[in-house]
A and B are shown apart, each in its own frame.
Chain A
Amino acid sequence: MNRFAALLDRLQRDPSRLGKLRLMRDYFRDVPDPDRGFGLAALTGALSFRHAKPGLIKALIGERVDPVLFALSYDYVGDLSETAALLWPANPGGAAEHPPTLTEVVHALAETGKVELPRVLAEFLDGLDETGRWALLKLITGAMRIGASARLAKQAVAELGGKGVNEIEDLWHALKPPYLELFAWLEGRKPRPLIDDPAPFFAAMLAHALEEDDLARLSPADFRAEWKWDGIRVQAAVGEGRNGAKIVRLFSRTGEDVSAAFPDLVEMLAALPYRAFSLDGELLIRRDGLVQSFGVLQQRLNRKRVSATLLGDYPAHLRAYDLLACDGADLRALPYLERRRRLEAFVGGAGASRLDLSPQIDFKSWDWLAAARRDPATAGAGVDAAAIEGVMLKRADSIYVPGRPKGLWYKWKRDPFSIDAVLMYAQRGHGKRSSFYSDFTFGVWQAGEAGDELVPVGKAYFGFTDAELKQLDRYVRDNTMNRFGPVREIEHGKDAGLVLEIAFDGLNLSSRHKSGVAMRFPRINRIRWDKPAREADRLETLEIFLKK
């Protein structure tokens, strides 16, 4: 456990990617099986425990520390694991002589029953130093927040055996912690693990955001354009099990199996006249031939129970844009145009109303495409324009590369909306921003009983630079009117207050918000130190965006 804790501690301090890679490579090289495999699982988010959850940490610390002092500390530190590790009463005898191994900890967390777990966890914590406690609690909370992505951990593992990271990605979904066969292969002791999954997930190819000056060096002839759909990216995998039964899976972009939430799509996929395939596409809600906005799709997401009414009111639809495999052949090494040709034939022969093709946009110049992006409805998208959030550019010759390769695919989102709002409340942030006031609630003017008043319309916690964060933090501290627990009310009114230019991607009706609207992806575009609060926007201005 101590070796793993030291790795996490050094990873979160090392600012450089190369440094992090080296730390992880050394760890995977030096630490024996199965500890290193569980370390890899922790770094890639592959560990999850049934009973060991953040709630358990809060309960344990609640028995040892005054709840008010815990709440104030958590608010300041901004990370549950670290707060609990710092507050845990020091063992008078010092840390244990033989602290538990990572493997022992993982097994205990996975296998101990609900009743016994608090005692077992407390014993572990008593036997560890602060860094050890922090690392152990990170295993439970899952979110490492140490600045090393799952992809970087896989890269480090790949380098151990002189392989490319995509070779690891291809295998990944067939592997389980502690990855003994993976390490055996990387160290040349055994052959490559066999993937025996009839409906595997292929790591998704992602696009880079297009910067305006990219266009100058890109040639329209090299690219094909498609609409960027405002739904959720999914991968549909169908294959034949050993007994000949059809296996159908619907994966999220990250490879999570979401089939259970979409029985209507699973049924459609199972009935298609193909033995085995893997489709990449967008999950949308389509009613009476009309694709609905993301706001409507959201009504169907995150429901615990998928009722018949829900299925009837929110019929799921798959709009396909890539074919990754078909009848046993991996198509990912083919150029986009060739995959597209096969995809068109596939969808054409499918004969399913819940499956269609994401159309290509016929464009001649970037200017033409820019106009289409501004107004999809008149550029061929017709009635589906409500579900479009920009355009995608894909190189005609691009093979399908897992991850986010440079120069092949671009997403060109429509310009964000923007309003000027007044800062009303602030709260401390978490993770990277912890202990700074970095969560900002802002409002716009509306007519009230006693004249105009500010009504909160959203919350933003990014968009600003580090320097601006410091200025905002200082402003919050100097202009606090009231404190409600961790929340500070900031002076706001016609003659006092800070105006923030807020950019956002869309607006939905919301019954949960006092203003009746909810923004999508709001962020602080600019701090308007120059603008008086009385000149900030009104709710009516915001409501105009609802129709867009």
Chain B
Amino acid sequence: MQAADLLALKPAGLYCAAGDFYIDPVRSVERALITHAHSDHARPGHGKVLATADTLAIMAIRYGDGFAGSTQPIDYRESLRIDAVDVSFHPAGHVLGSAQIRVADAKKIAVVSGDYKRESDPTCAPFEPLACDCFVSEATFGLPVFRHSNAKAEIEKLLGSLRLFPERTHLVGAYTLGKAQRLIALLRAAGYERPIYMHGALERVTDYYARRGVVLGELRKVAGRADLAGEIVLCPPAALGDLWSRKFAEPLPVFASGWMRVRARARQGGVELPLVISDHADWDGLCATIAETGCSKLLVTHGAADALVHYFKTRGLDAEPLHIKGYGEDEAPEETSA
């Protein structure tokens, strides 16, 4: 990648020579700009970190206060000069605090999307389209089989299942940061007023969302497990298969993820009720967004890059995949989102 000159691929990740910084590096570096707090993008141990205040706060919750040498918060749309480039952060609609990073010099504009989605989400600021010359897009769901733009209908499935199986505990696997809080907000928006139970691992990030004004209603920590028949219990995806999950009353494993669009993925995880809800753009969202940026150069990072690259090459764009080892690729690691 001679990438639009502003950005280059190095072993530690995407690098901007003109500003001497990395964006979402996968190894410790001197200066890092972080799009959002999911662990494959936000790693501890960098020298200086520039990110939104929410991203910095969530990183501190997860890694402890000393996760970087020094940190600097930046507001959405605030412009900052770093050496020879202007840098600004813009909402990505992915999770609370998530941002696209815009890097510009006198001649060119590059935008690194981080992870993003176009569907509305009551827990974070909506995606903001940016015009640019070079767009670096994620492609977690970069295949036309992935369509997941109707979270409301999926929430209705969960509520329908609760009515049908009132004797079973509905154990909902959801990523700790973003998905869990969005599900709670969506359930509340759908009129579900009962307390929602939570696995301990979700507590601190969820508390942070509540402090930031996201309406989540009554939340309870799981104490006794036998008496939760007919209730919703949120847990990290990995806990669905744990011993932990078996102590509930007839647990019904539910998993909310874009992967649930493919039956075999649900079956591999032993999921009985798959909910196709994702914090990433689906195929249509990716294609529409890339077209909207008006970019002439497209770089596709983690995910199913091949299909997007092919699709935009046939539409006259200069498109290529960026193989960054260490990102989730198409098997998102446990702690990230999907």
Alpha-carbon distance between A183 and B36 when the two chains are bound, in angstroms: 60
Q: Which residues of B contact A466 (CB under 8 A)?
A: 268
| Chain B residues within 8 Å of chain A by Cβ, number | 27
Q: Is the CB of B145 within 8 A of A73?
A: yes
Alpha-carbon distance between A478 and B263 when the two chains are bound, in angstroms: 26
A83 within 8 A of B: yes
Q: What string of 1s and 0s marks CB contacts (under 8 Å) between B139-150 and chain A?
A: 000011101000
Residues of A within 8 A of B (CB): 9, 12-15, 65-66, 68-69, 72-73, 76-79, 82-83, 86-87, 134, 147, 431-436, 466, 473-474, 477-478
Q: Is the CB of B263 within 8 A of A69?
A: no
Which 4 pairs across A and B sit closest by C-beta, in order of nearness?
Answer: A434-B264, A86-B145, A72-B307, A73-B145
Q: Which stretch of B54-62, B169-177, B202-210, B269-277 is in the interface?
A: B269-277
Alpha-carbon distance between A13 and B267 when the two chains are bound, in angstroms: 6
B95 within 8 A of A: no
User: Given the known A-B contacts A13-B272, A15-B272, are A87 and B144 also in contact in the complex, defined by CB atoms under 8 Å?
Assistant: yes
Alpha-carbon distance between A72 and B273 when the two chains are bound, in angstroms: 26
Alpha-carbon distance between A282 and B220 when the two chains are bound, in angstroms: 65
B2 within 8 A of A: no
Contact of B264 among A9, A15, A68, A77 (CB under 8 A): A77
Contact of A431 among B143, B264, B266 (CB under 8 A): B264
Q: Is the CB of A432 within 8 A of B267?
A: yes
Q: Is the CB of A477 within 8 A of B307?
A: no
User: How many Å from the CB of B328 to the closest CB on chain A?
Assistant: 10
Q: Which residues of B contact A72 (CB under 8 A)?
A: 143, 304, 306-307, 310
* Residues of A contacting B: mostly: helix
Contact of A73 among B143, B267, B329, B331 (CB under 8 A): B143
Contact of A12 among B263, B273, B310 (CB under 8 A): B263
Q: What string of 1s and 0s marks CB contacts (under 8 Å) between B113-149 and chain A?
A: 0000000000000000000000000000001110100
User: How many Å from the CB of B145 to the closest CB on chain A?
Assistant: 4
Q: Is the CB of A76 within 8 A of B143?
A: yes
Q: Which residues of A contact B272 (CB under 8 A)?
A: 13-15
Q: Can you report 19 A-B residue pairs in the complex whose CB atoms are below 8 A from each other? A: A13-B266, A13-B273, A14-B272, A66-B311, A66-B314, A72-B143, A72-B304, A73-B144, A73-B145, A73-B307, A76-B304, A86-B147, A431-B264, A434-B264, A435-B262, A435-B265, A435-B330, A436-B268, A466-B268
Alpha-carbon distance between A392 and B265 when the two chains are bound, in angstroms: 39
User: How many Å from the CB of A484 to the closest CB on chain B?
Assistant: 12
User: Given the known A-B contacts A72-B307, A76-B304, A478-B325, are A435 and B264 also in contact in the complex, defined by CB atoms under 8 Å?
Assistant: yes
Q: Which residues of B contact A435 (CB under 8 A)?
A: 262, 264-265, 330
Chain B contacts with A in 256-295, Cβ cutoff 8 A: 261-268, 270-274
Q: Is the CB of B263 within 8 A of A65?
A: no
A72, A79, A466, A477 — most chain B CB neighbours (10 Å): A72
